[in-house]
Structure 1
């Protein structure tokens, strides 16, 4: 075995004390110089690591008066006659490292520059705003920035202004915090699914290019290569038939679940809807789940409630969530753009009573009774065929949920997609309903939608027929191009064919089981817990009607 060098190697710390922190630290191999009580070279650490190791209740911290190197951007620079002060941020913490420099060291330093600064990490005297500061010994400007044109200044920038700079707004404290919060939710979601040992969830990666619009709303983006038109002026489909960006991974998840049992994914979805509101994006992430051998809507909603409660609890116990709660106590003007009492919002999800369930029929009755009693006025009059509007959902959360989430179940069959199974119990009006649900959260409303799936082939094909998804056969087809030219697919009429949805029907044709699933709007969910009202301020590079910058 060769001699031990003094090089730094990254190590992931699983826990500190009794609680896991999720932070990353670097540890040095012991070198001869360190054995002699001397520090051979600066320890390169992230800002969050430095602050974490400097939290001591008594006595000196492990980094006090040690050589430390930080790498990041100059968030703020103040030059004085005898000293200069630079605040260095690397995106790992809301708090920046204050560096004390001589005027000579700060000569070429500018706001926005990427730097690598080494120095002595020294405790500050009592009464100063910060507990420590870095006394610079070496300055290395890695990437220059012209302060006259650099758009991110120390002053407050409105969300509207920052939306024009999606590639740079990540350098602001709150936007970098949102990215770290999102990362933590992804990690904890994975841990939560792995914790359900009796269910054996498998994470899968469904395709983004699909053959059909599973929601049936027609709000899809069609894929075509740039050179789709030939010299003869004919349009050529790259995949030989029209393909689209997925609006949901559900149909493919059902194929996975047919063999693997219980599956989940977190992947982007795309909607070409022209809803120009803060709640809608054209590209967003969905956490989708499909579970086999499931025939109870109550079991499905119960799992959703457990999943959301547990994910919230898991992230609540992490440093990034505590940073979020403490953000309101900082002097950053951005704090006024987020919800005033975030911690209360989190605890309501984690610790509140069981979330109420109400059928769509009873929800409509409740809304109509409120109108008749003069307790509410709506722009859209509530009716069985009219569906639930945002104003209706907010009223239900306020009056039925008392500020807690509410499940609305058993919607009319006519307004839902073809793949949903019929309700186990008919509505009071004996109208056709399906075994589905929407979960409504306060303020943002719908955040989860799911259903039991129609697992019987004959009713599924009839549903597809009712929704106009079956194709009529060409009266003079080229039989050599059709494998099943001499075989009529079960339950189809003589002039019908399934087209691009045949593979989905095949899942019922050969060995299907009762199953169900749901999709959670991942961005909406994080936005609710982050206190950010507009998804355009939550997602770093938002795509919505009329805008797709960068």
Structure 2
């Protein structure tokens, strides 16, 4: 195994493995009994160890080095801690060391002087320079660097302490989510990334083709034989997934509750922090659920559980400490976490939300009216006025602005037959706005089949051949524009047929919800705006 893929604390052990003359691995051990004091430790573990003047080994990169006449101080980091380890060296030991160099240090773990910033420091006895760095050209320096500049360093920017913390925070959240769903007897699944369907209707899809099918430059075109036509790799058009919903619905019929956290792709031409071309989305699907409150309870329990785990963890402490160090106190993370963990989460209907917005006296760019979608400016006011520092659910949106498969409400909350609502919800957080959405879904095959019977209202974006929609088979067309007002214009008809066929084999009620971008942008209440963070999320 390459040393670059080994845990930092284990790389020293790799030095004991050598190839013999016949290609066999020869193992050489320094002692017959393991020595805890001499074992390599991560920077985080060493910083948590009280000073005892014992010998310690540490591997890492030099974040910064300060050379004086009689001694030198080096800040060592390995990504395991927001704070670096301070190493004390002699001028001779530090002579060849520069910022960015990879080193293996051996020394005594000693108590620091009273005025030092850390309680302990490493008094170095031996230095092993593993990888040298040119100080004149190494781009990551101990000074402010803009997000735009860091985007030009995709291979290095993850080394920044805040970005390394972000990676560890993602790992912590994923581990906690896995534990949460396992405790609820949900099965984790891995739906395909390449698919034939667009079940969200939330934006343009990315098409899949080989380089031969769509050469990107003149050299590729010149390499193709004259007069030759590329044979499509797939028999029907394929896309990068915009949602795993359809696959989860099918899998839920087999094992009950299912969930996934997988890459999602949206070809939205919007250069904002709220619209990413690629992100991770958590989606869950449950069976035999007849109450929207049960769906919201599950989403609430999940968010509370992850937030509690963060609040009680070392990772959470580092997030707060890093926020203060970067001067981002205007974002009250501790208050945001308290709002999630303490007190009930209000649940209001869409109609009540519109009434609240109208009565607020706020001047909006988009005037809130019944039947129109809620904008980000509306969601911020609702989270502030209704949530009072905590999350708030908005339920029962108008049927005309939601997908056709959502279950109609038993009684219209707005009153009147012209104001039909559906059993769905959005979860809003203060400052962050919408982080999750879910719904109950129709199970009547005859109603869903009616969508297909409105073929005369469909405008096809492909030639009208091979338009057969067979049982269980996804259709060959890329998008359709449907004249029915409650069917998103770009939901593929194949997805409709899938839902009809699926409900023809079972009549159980299902529900599902999704948290978009929950981990990439950390909008799930954990958002912190370190300067390097935004540079890390977008290439």
Q: Which bracket does the TM-score occupy, shorter chain normalised?
A: 0.7 to 0.9
User: What does residue 221 of structure 2 align with?
Assistant: none
CA-to-partner distance for each residue in 1:103-133, whole Å, 9 max, x for gaps?
1111111101111111111112323222111
User: How far apart, CA to CA, are the structure 2 residues paired with 1:474 and 1:226?
Assistant: 24
User: What does residue 533 of structure 2 align with?
Assistant: 537
User: How far apart, CA to CA, are the structure 2 residues paired with 1:206 and 1:429?
Assistant: 41
User: How far apart, CA to CA, are the structure 1 residues paired with 2:434 and 2:534?
Assistant: 17
Q: Say yes or no: does 1:406 pair with 2:392.
A: yes
User: How far apart, CA to CA, are the structure 2 residues paired with 1:222 and 1:539?
Assistant: 27
Q: Say yes or no: does 1:461 pair with 2:449.
A: yes
User: What does residue 223 of structure 1 align with?
Assistant: 208
User: What does residue 220 of structure 2 align with?
Assistant: none
User: How far apart, CA to CA, are the structure 2 residues paired with 1:135 and 1:224?
Assistant: 57
Pick aligned residue for 2:281 from 278, 282, 286: 286
Deviates more, 1:152-161 or 1:94-103: 152-161
Q: Say yes or no: does 1:418 pair with 2:409.
A: no
TM-score normalized by the length of structure 1: 0.80
Taking a change above 3 Å as real, the CA distance of residues 120 and 466 of structure 1, as seen in their structure-2 partners, is farther
Q: Say yes or no: does 1:341 pair with 2:337.
A: no
Taking a change above 3 Å as real, the CA distance of residues 75 and 97 of structure 1, as seen in their structure-2 partners, is same
User: What does residue 298 of structure 2 align with?
Assistant: 303
8 A contact 1:447–1:524 mirrored in 2: no
User: How far apart, CA to CA, are the structure 2 residues paired with 1:137 and 1:344?
Assistant: 46
User: How far apart, CA to CA, are the structure 2 residues paired with 1:40 and 1:406?
Assistant: 50
User: How far apart, CA to CA, are the structure 2 residues paired with 1:406 and 1:484?
Assistant: 39
1:259 partner SS:
helix
What pairs with 1:180-191 in structure 2 (closer than 5 Å)?
A: 180-191=168-179
Unaligned stretches of 5+ residues in structure 2? 1-7, 11-28, 215-223, 474-491
User: What does residue 308 of structure 2 align with?
Assistant: 313
Q: Say yes or no: does 1:72 pair with 2:67.
A: no
8 A contact 1:75–1:112 mirrored in 2: yes
User: What does residue 354 of structure 2 align with?
Assistant: 364
User: What does residue 209 of structure 1 align with?
Assistant: 194
Q: CA deviation at 1:152?
A: 0.8
User: What does residue 437 of structure 2 align with?
Assistant: 449
Q: CA deviation at 1:310?
A: 1.2
What pairs with 1:1-12 in structure 2 (closer than 5 Å)?
A: none
User: How far apart, CA to CA, are the structure 2 residues paired with 1:287 and 1:539?
Assistant: 23
Q: CA deviation at 1:283?
A: 0.5
Pick aligned residue for 2:379 from 353, 372, 393: 393
User: What does residue 249 of structure 2 align with?
Assistant: 254
8 A contact 2:65–2:74 mirrored in 1: yes
8 A contact 2:9–2:41 mirrored in 1: no
Unaligned stretches of 5+ residues in structure 1? 1-7, 11-28, 55-60, 486-496, 543-548
Taking a change above 3 Å as real, the CA distance of residues 390 and 282 of structure 1, as seen in their structure-2 partners, is same
User: What does residue 42 of structure 2 align with?
Assistant: 46
User: What does residue 492 of structure 1 align with?
Assistant: none
Cα RMSD (Å): 3.2
User: How far apart, CA to CA, are the structure 2 residues paired with 1:49 and 1:391?
Assistant: 44
Q: CA deviation at 1:250?
A: 0.8
User: How far apart, CA to CA, are the structure 2 residues paired with 1:41 and 1:354?
Assistant: 49
8 A contact 1:382–1:388 mirrored in 2: yes
Taking a change above 3 Å as real, the CA distance of residues 410 and 516 of structure 1, as seen in their structure-2 partners, is same
Count of matched residue positions in the alignment of Structure 1 and Structure 2: 482
User: How far apart, CA to CA, are the structure 2 residues paired with 1:65 and 1:44?
Assistant: 16
User: How far apart, CA to CA, are the structure 1 residues paired with 2:301 and 2:36?
Assistant: 51
User: How far apart, CA to CA, are the structure 2 residues paired with 1:500 and 1:354?
Assistant: 37
Taking a change above 3 Å as real, the CA distance of residues 263 and 525 of structure 1, as seen in their structure-2 partners, is farther
User: How far apart, CA to CA, are the structure 1 residues paired with 2:321 and 2:147?
Assistant: 20
8 A contact 2:257–2:287 mirrored in 1: yes
8 A contact 1:411–1:437 mirrored in 2: yes
1:540 partner SS:
helix
CA-to-partner distance for each residue in 1:197-254, whole Å, 9 max, x for gaps?
xxx2111101111111101244211111111167546464321111111111111100
8 A contact 1:72–1:116 mirrored in 2: yes
